[in-house]
Structure formats: structure tokens, C-alpha cells
Amino acid sequence: MRAHLGDQLVIESPAAGGNRRDGEIVGLHHADGTPPYDVRWSDTDEVTLVFPGPDAHVRHLEHPSGATPAPSGPDAGRAGATPARPGPDRAPSPGDVGRRVAAERERQGLTRATVAGRAAMAPQYLAYLEERPADPGLGTLTRLAGALGTSVEALRGGGIDQPPGQGQALLHPELRELGADECRSLLSTHGVGRVALTTLDGPAVVPVNYEVVDDEIAFRTAPGSVPAAAVGSEVAFEVDHLDETAGQGWSVLAVGPARHVTEPDAVRRLADGAHTHPWAGGEREMWVSIRPRRLTGRRIGPAPR
């Protein structure tokens, strides 16, 4: 048995239907990559010295030919590690968890090295998770969720087709009003929010991709669409985030007049600075801007003890 830093050690359960155990090899004690290994277990996040038995095998990451194992120690291999590359015996497409990790990392503009450092794992193991079908343990998912500021549930895709808020409430919750500065910070520079407006058919609430520019909230839509009906009236705009696993979250509400942005320079500036194309697709070149007259927010979290 031989391994490199970042490879995964898998211990199969001898009992039928039993649970396996896996962890990242973070330390080597022999230059040729033979056991024992320092292993960070995915279920406990603890590093232990392991002498693998007959029920163990190494799940290799691909390394350049001629690569030699790095020095031992729990922190070895976290910096300057060689990125993984697709192996000939594995399908190149990632699993669902890997796709969600990669999408969230790229959405936040983070490098693999940054996320791997935050999650205390080798960059090549993160590359393996993002690029190959993989089944990371709870400890690995917990560290990745913390590094990305999301939840294990979100990385697993649980409840993706269910309305949010079906998780359990906190035993001792605290509802706190947010100040204007914190509301602006939570709005960030862009995201997905909901526009509430009155149409000829009655009240409507529609989700839109939005940008925040000079304290105005702007979104693209198509003429004649429901969001376009916001122009010339006072509307409400809401954005929120829920952590189903932790039972906490926040919401921000902006109220103000909506206008059609027609100035060529302003339209060009919005289009050039947009962080993403509208998720709904299609031709959506009409920019609508909301200037908040009232900005309020609330946060639900655990009450201080």
C-alpha cells in the first residue's frame, strides 16, 4: 500500500451493511508512501496515526509521474499541493455535492486554495471532490460548509424542491431588528430577491436577480413582464437567507419608487457591472431601479445565554 498526501484512506466495515469510515491522509512517515499514515477522519475531524489493516484501501488522487511524497505531519500538503486531474479509470463528471461546492466557491470568487485552507484539507482533495463522483463524510461536509458560509444540508441539496423553513425552530430564539448599515451589508452587491408590486390582476411577488449600485437596487427584465409593471409605482423588495440546519436566518425589506433606467451611460454601467445573467434566461435588457425610502431588516438567531 502506497499513498500521497491528500489521498483518502477508506476502512470498509466487516459487517454486511455496516458503515465505512474514511479520512484524508495528511501525514506520511515514510518517503516511499508506505504506512503508517496520519489520517484526518471525516466523521470526527480528528487526526490519528493509522496502520491500515486488510479492510483498508487507499483512494488515490492523480499525481504527476515522478512525484514524491511530501514530509509528514498533520499540516503537510496544505500549501503548494499539486492539483488533482481526472484519472483514466474514473468518470470525469463530478457528483452532486462536488458541483454544489464548486458552484458556491466560484459564486463567492474563492480559490480552491482558500477554501481548502479554511476547511483544513489538502487542495488536491478539494479538487477531487469537485471534479469526480465522491461521497464525502459528515466531517468533511461540515468543514466545507463552514469554509463556504453555508450548511451541510445545502451542500447535500436537501429540500431543494421544498419551500424553505421546514426545519425545527431554535429552543431559545431571539428576533432582532437590524440597522440600516447592517441591512445594506446583507444586501451585498448582488443576489436573488423578490419584488412585491400591484398589477392589473392584483398583488404579485416575483423573484429577480438584482444588483446594488450606489444604494439603488436594480434588476433586468423584459418589457411587458410582471416585474416591468413596477415602473412608476412604489414597490417592496425583499431578500433573505435561511440556515435550515441551524434554524436561524435574516431578512431585509426595501420600500421605494421604481423607475425605468433609460440613460445610455447608466444602462451601460449596469450591464457592464452585472455579476450574472438573469437566471430566467431570454432577452431581458430592460433595467428597473428601486431607490429605497425605507430599509428595515430582522435576524433570528439563538438568544444570548
Q: Catalogue all structural domains in the chain, each as residue range(s) with its CATH number.
A: 8-156 (1.10.260.40), 173-302 (2.30.110.10)
Give the per-residue pLDDT at 245: 61
Give the per-residue pLDDT at 111: 94
User: 258 versus 84: which is more confidently predicted?
Assistant: 258
Share of the chain above pLDDT 70, in %: 85
Handedness of CA 49, 54, 59, 60 (dihedral sign): positive
Strand, helix or coil at 175?
Answer: strand
Considering only CA atoms, give the Rg of the chain: 24
Give the per-residue pLDDT at 73: 39
Give the per-residue pLDDT at 78: 37
Q: 123-139: string of b/e by CB count within 10 Å (b at 16+)?
A: bbbbbbbbbbebebbeb
Give the integer Cα–Cα distance in Å for 206 and 208: 7
Strand, helix or coil at 108?
Answer: coil
> Quick one: which of 213, 229, 206, 203 has its CA closest to 273?
213
Give the integer Cα–Cα distance in Å for 10 and 40: 11
Lowest average pLDDT, out of 65-79, 202-216, 289-303, goes to 65-79
Summarize pLDDT for 117-154 with one digit per residue, the tens. Answer: 999 888 888 888 888 777 777 888 899 999 999 888 88
User: 35 versus 71: which is more confidently predicted?
Assistant: 35
Amino acid at 238: E
Residue 88: pLDDT over 70: no
89 neighbors 133 (Cβ within 8 angstroms): no
Confidence of residue 48 (pLDDT cuts 50, 70, 90): confident
Confidence of residue 19 (pLDDT cuts 50, 70, 90): low
Summarize pLDDT for 217-249 with one digit per residue, the tens. Answer: 999 999 999 999 999 999 999 999 987 766 789
Three cell numbers written together for 186: 446583507
- DSSP letters, 8-32, are EEEE--SSTTPPPEEEEEEEESSTT
148 neighbors 104 (Cβ within 8 angstroms): yes
Q: What is the mean pLDDT of residues 279-299?
A: 94
